[in-house]
């Protein structure tokens, strides 16, 4: 099982050829998944599928769940290079099967919860928009919100074994790359951009 920490980054350049790359980004809410996805997309010119943006435009029905899975499969099948951002354990196996590299962003519980609260205040009180979220979605500081914060707090414990288990079952030959802080994000982004940068005509 290729569970790899940043200092053993997987290399995508094979025999001088630049291979297509489908990136799957997972991690606790507040770990910076969507921000990192946008930075990768800007640097690499890759399309992004934001799972939250799609899911929170549905009616959350069983039929919507099936369409949600179908849209993920269609997105991964129709792009050679792309980024798919979000958790959703129920469809995680499908995304792992369709991706080339899984990036698991890990931050402390306290930092994740603080980022989520800060983000909620920005969107609720200062009307900031989030490109990764459905425009009609509105958070309320109520009991459901407290349950969501508990989900964020419990995420490391709940998924410490579950994510590697899914990876082992359906994508054990693909790297599950753990990135733990902003320094590693920056270094990974630089390395990936350099590896996927195709030579111009003058240097061929």
Domains of the chain, start order: 3-196 (3.40.50.300)
Residue in 67, 11, 31, 22 with CA at minimum distance from that of residue 180 = 31
> What was the pLDDT predicted at 129?
84
Model pTM? 0.87
Cα 35 to Cα 51: distance, rounded to the nearest angstrom: 14
More confident residue, 83 or 126: 83
> What was the pLDDT predicted at 31?
96
> What was the pLDDT predicted at 201?
36
| Count of helix runs (H) and strand runs (E) in the chain | 8, 8
> What was the pLDDT predicted at 16?
41
Q: Is there a contact between 163 and 88 (Cβ–Cβ < 8 Å)? A: no
More confident residue, 128 or 88: 88
Task: Mention every residue, 6+ apart, whose C-beta is less than 8 A from residue 136.
Answer: 56, 57
Range 185-199 average pLDDT: 77
- Residue 14 pLDDT exceeds 90: no
Structure confidence at residue 74 as a pLDDT band (50, 70, 90): very high
Highest mean pLDDT among 38-52, 168-182, 186-200: 38-52
Task: Mention every residue, 6+ apart, whose C-beta is less than 8 A from residue 52.
Answer: 34, 86, 132, 133, 134, 137
Cα 6 to Cα 186: distance, rounded to the nearest angstrom: 11
Q: Hey, CA dihedral for 199, 193, 80, 135, is it positive or negative?
A: negative
Range 153-166 average pLDDT: 95
Percent of the chain with pLDDT over 90: 64
> What was the pLDDT predicted at 19?
63
Range 20-28 average pLDDT: 92
> What was the pLDDT predicted at 4?
53
Cα 152 to Cα 118: distance, rounded to the nearest angstrom: 14
- Residue 10 pLDDT exceeds 60: no
């Amino acid at each position: 099982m290729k569970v790899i920490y940043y200092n053993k980054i997987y290399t995508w350049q094979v025999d001088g050829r630049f291979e297509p790359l489908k990136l799957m980004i997972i991690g606790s809410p507040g770990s910076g998944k969507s921000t990192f996805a946008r930075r990768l997309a800007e640097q690499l010119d890759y399309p992004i599928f934001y799972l939250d943006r799609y899911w929170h435009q549905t009616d959350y029905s069983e039929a919507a769940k099936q369409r949600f899975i179908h849209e993920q499969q269609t997105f991964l099948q129709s792009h050679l290079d792309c980024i798919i951002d979000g958790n959703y354990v129920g469809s995680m196996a499908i995304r792992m099967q369709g991706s080339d590299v899984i990036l698991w962003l890990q931050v402390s519980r306290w930092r994740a919860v603080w980022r989520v609260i800060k983000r909620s205040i920005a969107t609720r009180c200062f009307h900031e928009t989030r490109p990764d979220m459905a425009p009609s979605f509105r958070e309320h500081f109520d009991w459901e919100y407290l349950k969501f914060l508990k989900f964020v707090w419990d995420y490391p414990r709940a998924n410490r074994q579950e994510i590697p288990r899914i990876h082992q079952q359906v994508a054990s030959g693909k790297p599950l790359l753990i990135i733990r802080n902003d320094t590693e994000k920056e270094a990974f982004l630089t390395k990936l951009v350099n590896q996927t940068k195709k030579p111009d005509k003058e240097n061929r």
